[in-house]
């Protein structure tokens, strides 16, 4: 029986939903609700009520009476005495708080949420969870915390509104996370927040007081994020620049540069990133990030000094990605070989993968072989281990095949993690560089022998490392290295070496299976 692929299935369902009228869709939802597990059912019902209350129909759920709110507070008082409560009861009561909020009965919502959320967040009431209350509740407790903050906003006096909201956020910090409070208040509110401009001024003053009173730190605190948010709202990139220049903290400088890039003001973004690279106190990592930002701006401006920007970024914060960008600016093999030679003179001593790439591009295979042989058996995932680069290229050269390099993702290179539509730095691929360098296997038998010897050493170290440290998840990789080495060698001596290696580790059944799977 043929099955629809995921995309086809989605398109069929979309078309079917489009064909239904409102009454049919309502009937469908009512029919589906009993099929769902308790947690999913609760989430769906909450979502239905929330969307209906925010629609233009004017409908709102019934708000609990004052007597009902008194009963909920009494329930919480009893639960605090025994330090526990049934999560299904808490679910029901939190849902009533949400109903009051959606019905714009903010005083009732405030009382219900305050009664429940604070003791739950402080751990005074145990709901039977292992770690997080979300494990046992069907209501989104984080959403309730944000509704509580909005209810506080709507019920507090305009003069003290900022301090009241801040107090509410601190009340529920055990169950709610306020990364950008202003955005979250506006998102959760069911009606426009009154006097919001006045609130912004109050909020900025309050947050600035908190930042000024805290000990200076490179770590980004919530007040630092809150200050950047309100400054961006009230002053834009110009205000963020003032904050960044004053603090010299990487996160503040990053926010300033990002705001300019997001606005597409690449000339200002380049200047800001270059200034940030000079100002930042956390120079080891962040300096390179800002120089990358300056290079990106140069790229977007189609600047004639893009190569110089790439070179500066690599020289001041060397990484494999930055090196590839700089090398990628070469027009021919001669220029590439010369640039690789210049880079070899200044590449950091511990940057074995970068050094190996430079030797490979210059055709210095014996030097690359030495780096491979000297590398550790463990740590292949390290950003500067040469194994993932040199080994597959040696196999390809010895077998006369096209080399394919697939390195583990480098989490230090944030551009490799971006999957959205934002502009990205163009990073030249290994295949492009190797093709331009025209790397071939030399006729010198001594170099070929050194390549095979290095591959054997690397495979032996890898097998020894993963077995001695019980890294069973990496047995397959270790076995594949040995098998590929023997195949690339192609001689009887290579086959004998592989037999000796597998025999030496015959007491490791899991490794033995991996050897067999790899074709040993």
What token pair was written down for 83?
């330090």
Q: Are 194 and 203 in contact (CB under 8 A)?
A: no
In angstroms, the CA 513 to CA 515 distance is 5
Q: Are 169 and 153 in contact (CB under 8 A)?
A: no
Residue 39 lies in a domain: yes
Instruction: State CA 282 to chain mean position distance.
Output: 20
Residue 284 lies in a domain: no
Q: What is the pLDDT of residue 407?
A: 64
Q: What is the pLDDT of residue 421?
A: 79
Q: What is the pLDDT of residue 402?
A: 63
Residue 61 lies in a domain: yes
Q: What is the pLDDT of residue 1?
A: 40
My answer on whether 37 and 172 are in the same domain is yes
* Domain end residue (candidates: 146, 169, 194): 194
Q: What is the pLDDT of residue 471?
A: 94
Provide the number of structural domains found in the chain. Answer: 2
Residue 216 lies in a domain: no
What token pair was written down for 491?
């001689």
Q: Are 285 and 256 in contact (CB under 8 A)?
A: no
Which of 258-264's residues contact partners 24+ apart within 8 Å by CB, and which partners? 259/232, 261/293, 261/296, 261/297, 261/422, 261/423, 263/237
Q: What is the pLDDT of residue 135?
A: 86
Q: What is the pLDDT of residue 285?
A: 80
Terminal-residue alpha carbon distance, the chain: 38
Residue 411 lies in a domain: no
Positions in the chain short of pLDDT 70: 1-9, 284, 402-420
444 Rama class: left (phi>0) / alpha (psi -120 to 50) / beta? beta
* Domain end residue (candidates: 146, 163, 194): 194
Residue 277 lies in a domain: no
Q: What is the pLDDT of residue 288?
A: 94
**How would you label 144-181 residue by residue, b for 16+ Cβ within 10 Å and e otherwise?**
bbbbbbbbbbbebeeeebbebbbebbebbebbbebebb
* Domain end residue (candidates: 174, 194, 214): 194
In angstroms, the CA 518 to CA 496 distance is 16
Residue 14 lies in a domain: no
Domain that holds residue 449: 320-406+425-518
Q: What is the pLDDT of residue 10?
A: 73
Cα within 13 Å of Cα(343), Cβ side = 35
Q: What is the pLDDT of residue 219?
A: 87
What token pair was written down for 383?
């950003």
Sign, CA torsion 442/443/447/450:
positive
Q: What is the pLDDT of residue 9?
A: 59
The C-alpha angle 69, 70, 72, rounded to 5 degrees, equals 65
What DSSP state is assigned to residue 126? B
Cα within 13 Å of Cα(491), Cβ side = 9
Which of 440-443's residues contact partners 24+ apart within 8 Å by CB, and which partners? 440/363, 440/397, 441/365, 441/397, 441/398, 441/400, 442/363, 442/365
Q: What is the pLDDT of residue 418?
A: 56
Closest by CA to 203, choosing from 149, 162, 246, is: 162
Q: What is the pLDDT of residue 419?
A: 59
Residue 267 lies in a domain: no
């Amino acid at each position: 029986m043929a099955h629809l692929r995921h995309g086809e299935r989605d398109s069929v369902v979309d078309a079917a939903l489009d064909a239904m009228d409102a009454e049919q869709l309502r009937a469908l939802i009512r029919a589906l609700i009993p099929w769902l597990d308790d947690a999913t059912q609760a989430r769906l019902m909450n979502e239905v009520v929330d969307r209906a209350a925010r629609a233009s129909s004017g409908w709102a759920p019934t708000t609990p009476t004052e007597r009902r709110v008194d009963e909920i507070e009494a329930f919480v008082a009893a639960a605090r005495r025994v330090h526990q409560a049934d999560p299904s009861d808490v679910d029901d009561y939190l849902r009533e708080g949400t109903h009051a909020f959606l019905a714009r009965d903010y005083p009732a919502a405030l009382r219900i949420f305050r009664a429940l959320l604070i003791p739950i967040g402080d751990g005074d009431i145990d709901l039977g969870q292992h770690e997080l209350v979300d494990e046992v509740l069907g209501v989104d407790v984080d959403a309730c915390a944000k509704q509580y903050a909005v209810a506080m906003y709507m019920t507090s006096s305009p003069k003290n509104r900022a301090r009241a909201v801040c107090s509410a956020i601190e009340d529920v910090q055990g169950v709610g996370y306020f990364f950008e409070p202003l955005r979250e208040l506006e998102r959760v509110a069911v009606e426009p927040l009154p006097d919001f401009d006045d609130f912004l001024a109050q909020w900025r003053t309050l947050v600035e007081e908190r930042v000024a009173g805290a000990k200076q730190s490179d770590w980004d605190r919530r007040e630092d994020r809150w200050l950047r948010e309100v400054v961006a709202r009230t002053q834009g990139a110009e205000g963020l620049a003032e904050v960044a220049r004053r603090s010299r903290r990487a996160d503040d400088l990053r926010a300033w540069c990002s705001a300019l890039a997001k606005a597409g003001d690449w000339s200002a973004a380049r200047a800001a990133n270059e200034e940030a690279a000079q100002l930042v106190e956390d120079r080891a990592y962040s300096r390179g990030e800002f120089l990358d930002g300056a290079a990106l701006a140069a790229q977007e401006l189609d600047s004639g000094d893009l190569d110089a920007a790439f070179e500066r970024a690599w020289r001041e914060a060397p990484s494999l990605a930055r090196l590839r960008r700089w090398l990628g600016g070469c027009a021919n093999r001669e220029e590439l070989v010369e640039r690789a030679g210049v880079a070899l003179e200044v590449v950091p001593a511990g940057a074995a993968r970068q050094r190996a790439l430079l030797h490979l591009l210059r055709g210095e295979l014996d030097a690359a072989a030495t780096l491979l042989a000297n590398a550790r058996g463990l740590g292949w995932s390290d950003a500067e281990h040469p194994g993932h680069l040199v080994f597959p290229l040696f196999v390809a050269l010895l077998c006369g095949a096209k080399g394919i390099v697939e390195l583990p993702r480098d989490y230090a290179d944030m551009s490799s993690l971006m999957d959205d539509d934002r502009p990205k730095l163009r990073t030249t691929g290994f295949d492009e560089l190797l093709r331009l360098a025209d790397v071939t296997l030399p006729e010198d038998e001594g170099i070929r022998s050194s390549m095979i010897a290095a591959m054997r050493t690397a495979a032996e170290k890898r097998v020894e490392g993963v077995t001695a440290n019980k890294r069973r998840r990496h047995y397959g990789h270790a076995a594949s290295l040995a098998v590929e080495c023997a195949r690339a060698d192609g001689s009887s001596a290579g086959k004998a070496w592989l037999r000796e290696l597998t025999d030496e580790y015959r007491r490791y059944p899991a490794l033995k299976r991996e050897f067999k799977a790899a074709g040993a």
